[in-house]
Amino acid sequence: MVSCRGPPRRRGPPRRITGVTRSIRPLPAVLLAVVLTACSGGVHGSPGGQGVRDPYFPRAGNGGYDVAHYGLTLAYDPGRHRLTGTAVITARATQDLSAFDLDFKGMTVDGVTVEGNGARWNRAGQELTVRPRSDLERGETFRTTVRYSGTPETLTDPDGSKEGWLRTADGALALGEPTGSMAWFPGNHHPSDKATYDIAVTVPQGLTAVSNGEPAGETTRNGRTTFSWHTGQPMASYVAMVAIGHFDLTRTALKNGLTAYVAVDRTQTEASRQVLAQLPDIMEWEEYNFGPYPFSSTGAVVGPEGSAGYALETQNRPVFPGAPETGTLVHELAHQWYGDSVTPASWRDMWLNEGFATYAEWLWREDHGGQTAQQTFDQLYRGDYYDDPEQSKAIWAYPPAKPSSAAHISDSPVYERGAMVLQKIRQTVGDDTFYDIIQGWAAARRHGNASTADFTAYVQKKAPHKDFGPIWRDWLYGDGRPEHP
Ligand code: TRP
Ligand code: ZN
């Protein structure tokens, strides 16, 4: 018997824009940097690039440096929707640099220093180009401080969903997949550049500010409270988060010694009690199946109903817009291994996140008295998993490893068909090797980045005598519905 005909939709708003990526950009900031360099005479550095050539988000990230740490000091006044911030970015130059870019959208830049010296800067679209007083040398670690203020923007993704700074009735939710973090702090906003973080948020007394990592202090002065959070393991900026509101923050020790910090918006206390009580069991089940948990704390943030149009796997503690279903909690926690610890090299590798997290839901169902993953696979293949025939057909729209455009990186070919790829691997190698593979993958790439090619090579290495060629060809990269299930 099928108890669950289709997973809950995780992304909220309808996709308003189809097949259109953000391809028209204003002012090439890199040109300005080139001009500045040419005028200064005697320098040998060149500007870092204004993107890292992501196939879906070409302006995301920046070339020429690698961030090690973000120190963010934020203050938010929900009444006036006003954010003031200081970002201290510690990075290493990967080339001689005359100038470099940060991704930053909206807000007002009040000043930039590099190594304590005032730096020239210029803004064009989402690129904040910084020109330090003197060139930075390849290999050098340098500190950039950006002071900023204003009303942070809510950004609309190519698929129509909202991210960046989301206002709530009494606070805000700052989210960043795929590029929304540039609305609330300047940075190298591409998943390939992971860093540690210290985030301090000052809010009016009575409100609570929650972020990633572990609490690192709370002080109240003059009617305002500062909440500090420390993230000691590498984090991609798209899973950085701040939640401000009337939250009840609880800490629970899990059996393995890990602390779960769970923040629940006052309005969601009753509705989320049962599902959150499952968190320790889900964590234990996931560690059993995926291997040791990769971070130093876990938890969840349950924001007000509708505060976002989707749940998001923000590091350490995923965010839910209202009380989640069990499957969604399983999904977002699975992302801590697949997505947050093992992070895609580019947005094309999205199925390594969503295929795995979706497969985690199938496995949970299989292990808890529901249908097997193979049954879910069979229904999807036959087309009777969903009631809606359009939805059934949609999973064959494009191959998981080659999303058709930026507007479609979170559609069912990435999620469900991505999970089907994992079931194909399991069919080929059997359960023992399959669990070895998914655990080994999380261990091998822990706290790093990986591409689809890295994954297929890893699978092949773990089962050298199996032929995965047809699976990669038909299920991962092939157009349309494969001929055989
Ligand atoms: N990653 C979220 C999930 O757990 C969904 C999501 C939110 C998403 N924002 C996104 C996916 C932006 C792709 C792009 O399923
Ligand atoms: Zn997901």
Calculate how far, in angstroms, residue 416's C-alpha sits from the geometric centre of ligand 1.
14
- Distance between first and last Cα of the chain: 21
pLDDT the model gives residue 43: 52
Compute, in angstroms, the gap from residue 340 CA to the centroid of ligand 1. Answer: 12
CATH class of 46-241: mainly beta
Quickly list DSSP for 267-285. Answer: GGHHHHHHHHHTHHHHHHH
The residues of the chain that CATH labels 2.60.40.1730 are 46-241
Please list the residue range(s) of the chain that carry CATH number 1.10.390.10: 246-341, 343-476
Return the bridge partners of 87, or none: 72, 146
**177 CA → ligand 1 middle, Å:** 6
Torsion over CA: 281, 283, 286, 287 (sign): negative
Per residue in 4-54, pLDDT (tens digit) is 333 333 443 333 333 333 333 443 444 444 444 443 434 589 999 899 999
Report whether residue 340 contacts ligand 1, using a CB cutoff of 6 Å.
no
Closest CA to 446 of 362, 307, 361, 339: 339
Options 3.40.50.280, 3.30.390.30, 1.10.390.10, 1.20.140.10; CATH for 343-476 is 1.10.390.10
241 lines ligand 1 (CB under 6 A): no
Tokens of 397: 């729209």
Task: For ligand 1, pick from 159, 310, 343, 408 the residue to mutate: most ligand atoms within 8 Å of CB.
Answer: 310
Whether 332 lines ligand 1, by a CB cut-off of 6 Å, is yes
Mutate to test the pocket of ligand 1, among 9, 11, 313 (most ligand atoms within 8 A of CB): 11
Side-chain half-sphere exposure of 312, counting CA atoms within 13 A: 29
Task: Provide CB contacts within 8 A for 60, sequence distance 6+.
Answer: 51, 52, 54, 103, 178, 179, 189, 190, 347
What average pLDDT does this structure show over 203-227?
98
Taking only the tens place, the pLDDT of each residue in 362-410 is: 999 999 999 999 999 999 999 999 999 999 999 999 999 999 999 999 9
The per-residue pLDDT for 36 is 42
In CATH, the number for domain 246-341 is: 1.10.390.10
The pLDDT tens digits for 262-308 are 999 999 999 999 999 999 999 999 999 999 999 999 999 999 999 99
pTM score of the predicted model: 0.91
